[in-house]
Amino acid sequence: QKEVEQNSGPLSVPEGAIASLNCTYSDRGSQSFFWYRQYSGKSPELIMSIYSNGDKEDGRFTAQLNKASQYVSLLIRDSQPSDSATYLCAVKAGAETSGSRLTFGEGTQLTVNP
């Protein structure tokens, strides 16, 4: 089992719809969770971080964390063509597992169709 798994893509949604990106992780001691956006040929850019159970909203983005289910998600409301990118889930596992470094999922490619 991979330490961080994301729903397989590619994911395609129409403009204006809600895009839902999912991520599960294996280390129950994980503490910090991040979503990065990566445009083709560019480097990853941090868009959301979440540390406690529940929802965290930032503009059109909402991150949801459920530590009991070891699940973190990213919702993008009113999706725009400019949201088309690969979204990477990253997890800071417990210190016993991997120290400070983040573990990244493989990414989910999102396409928003005009």
**Which pair of structure tokens corresponds to residue 63?**
């991150």
User: Should residue 87 be labelled a site residue for another protein when binding is judged by CB under 8 A?
Assistant: no
> Is residue 35 classed exposed, middle or buried when 0-12, 13-18 and 19+ CB atoms within 10 A define those classes?
buried
Q: Exactly one of 23, 65, 92, 112 binds another protein (CB under 8 A); which one?
A: 92
**Which pair of structure tokens corresponds to residue 61?**
């983005």
Q: Exactly one of 7, 20, 22, 49 binds another protein (CB under 8 A); which one?
A: 49
Rounded distance, CA 100 to CA 80, Å? 34
Angle in degrees, CA 109, 68, 24, rounded to 5: 20
Query: Smallest gap, in angstroms, from Cβ of residue 73 to another protein?
Result: 18
Q: Exactly one of 16, 29, 32, 80 binds another protein (CB under 8 A); which one?
A: 32
User: Should residue 88 be labelled a site residue for another protein when binding is judged by CB under 8 A?
Assistant: yes
> Is residue 6 classed exposed, middle or buried when 0-12, 13-18 and 19+ CB atoms within 10 A define those classes?
buried
User: Should residue 61 be labelled a site residue for another protein when binding is judged by CB under 8 A?
Assistant: no
The 8-class DSSP code of residue 26 comes to S
**Closer to another protein at the Cβ: 18 or 46?**
46
Query: Smallest gap, in angstroms, from Cβ of residue 9 to another protein?
Result: 11
Q: Which residues bind another protein (CB under 8 A)?
A: 31-32, 34, 40-46, 49, 51, 86, 88, 90, 92, 99-102, 104-107, 109
